[in-house]
Structures are given as structure tokens and as C-alpha cells.
Structure 1
């Protein structure tokens, strides 16, 4: 079988989707860095697909790209978080 690249990229891409969603929802001050990391994972996946293209890996990359697109769009539409004043 020709599944080596899918096996090598499945867990990192799944982890990046879960971790990126967590950062997006619960750490708004780190959203920009999280989205950058998600984009870099997408590029790593695309490089893996260029080396060994399979339909399964393409489907995984499409799901990952959709996740990145949705989170990036939501980030660009959301207002900037306001720093809370210190309580004394």
C-alpha cells in the first residue's frame, strides 16, 4: 500500500485542528499565532501530498484547509479583544 505519507501526517494534522480550535476559542490573545501555526501545518501537509499524492491525504488536507479557512474568517470578522483594567 501507498499509505506511508497519510500515516505520517494524520495525527499531526488532526492535532493541529484540535489545538488550533482550542486556542481560537479559549485564548483570544493568541489567535494570530495559532492561525499562523495552522497555516504552516497546512503547508507541511501540502508538501507531503506533493511527494506522495493519495486521495485520502487530499481529503484530510481539504478538511484541514476548511478548518483554517473558517477560523481565519471568524478571526478577521471578530473585533479585537479589549484588555481588562487591573482590579485593585
Structure 2
């Protein structure tokens, strides 16, 4: 994968929203900003942290998948030339 622009747009949006949630939770917990009443509690910050991480997982999975395809394309394509064990033993049979 040459750049992050190769990721689907929806995955990039989810990644950005996850980062924003993590930043808001961090800023709220350190009292740099004050959020509205429902989002000002520590429980809401914990929920924002988990939601932010959850929203960032699709991008991590997509990056991992592209990396795995680039490193080992043979593992990702499956076995296209499958032959049974009996076919292989017939070809290598020395009893003529």
C-alpha cells in the first residue's frame, strides 16, 4: 500500500471520528475542555475511549489485510491448482 489514500473513504472517515473521540475523551479527563453535562462524566469518557478504539479498528484491519496481501500473495489467493494425493502418487509411481 503506497499511501493512506488507498483506503476506502468510509474507513478513513471512521478513523477520523475515532481519533476525534479519543482526543475529546483525553481533553475532558484532563479538564482542558468542559463538555456538556451528559458527556462530562468519567463514565462517558470511558465510553468515548472504547468507541474511539472500536471505530479505528476497520482501518487497522484494512491496513493489515493489504500488508498481508503484499507480503504473501500466495497465501491470500488460495490453492488454484489443487491436486489430490492419489493424483500425485500416480505421477510419481515408479512401478511400471
Same fold (TM over 0.5): no
Q: TM-score range by the shorter chain?
A: 0.3 to 0.5
TM-score by length of 2: 0.40
Q: Which has the higher helix share?
A: 1
TM-score by length of 1: 0.43
**Over alpha carbons, which structure has the higher Rg?**
2
